[in-house]
Amino acid sequence: MARLKDKVAIITGATSGIGRRTAELFVAEGAKVVVCGRRTALGKALESELGRERCLFVEADVTLEADMKGLIDTAVKTWGRLDCLFNNAGGPAPVGGIETIPVDGFDAAMATLVRSVMLGMKHAAPVMTAQGSGSIINNGSVAASRAGLSSSMIYSAAKAAVVHLTRCVAMQLGEQNVRVNAISPGGIATGIFGKALGVPAERADATAEAVKAGLAKMQPIPRAGLPDDIAKAALFLASDESTFVNGHDFVVDGGVIGGRLWSVHQQGLQGMKDAFGV
């Protein structure tokens, strides 16, 4: 349908999972994309697969201001504009109770999950406001809204910061016709669960299939979330179909934060009836 015809996008953390699928979909819908990550071989493979005339890989550490500025500069220098920034890059955070959290692990997680988003918006904003248009999309999480939906309370706190920072910046940039929204995924079958539980990064992506059965039981929709579910939400927010959507946290979770599962609720009621002898 070419919903992103002639648009230029940047997607961070695009060497696997949600980022990679979003890059594939954006290119299929007519966009030119700059993608980044730290795994050069995977990034170059994606660039080759999608074609360098449509997809350019840049090795970058999203926690470093120079790298994030360089990413935005590359898109503008190569294709003359920037229509969409998807701050997707992320990673695991320290697990365990608050009394066990190492300060260096906390700081590293906040840099990866929050500072990177701030830096992307900081350097994309001048380009987009000068154009008088643009869409910034930040990857949040249902863990930002509900405790206990992540293996890490630090991850949850970081994502809550991302979602609220999104709203704050949306109020500023919206006045220049630049939209800022978050996407909050539920249980999406990617390698992040393996990474969070200590699987080495080079093997973590292969764990995505193993988590599907467990994720299918979390929400009313009886399947695991897939990278494609988030990529399609990002496509909507990047396209001109969403030009009146700003400051929104777009939850894509199959209903997990909607409340208690109906079947579990009914089991609880039945337990009460049994206790009451009715």
- Which amino acids are annotated catalytic? 155
- Cα–Cα distance between 219 and 22 in angstroms, integer? 23
Q: Residue 74: which H helix or E strand, with range?
A: helix 65-79
Element of type H or E holding 251: strand 249-252
How far is Cα 61 from Cα 163, in angstroms, rounded to an integer?
A: 21
Rg (CA), the chain: 19
Q: Is 247 helix (H, G, I), strand (E, B) or coil?
A: coil
Give the CA distances from residue 14 to residues 87, 132, 169, 173, 243, in Å, rounded to whole numbers and listed in that order. Answer: 10, 27, 24, 25, 25
And the tokens for 81? 């504009």
Q: Are 180 and 166 in contact (CB under 8 A)?
A: yes
DSSP 113: I
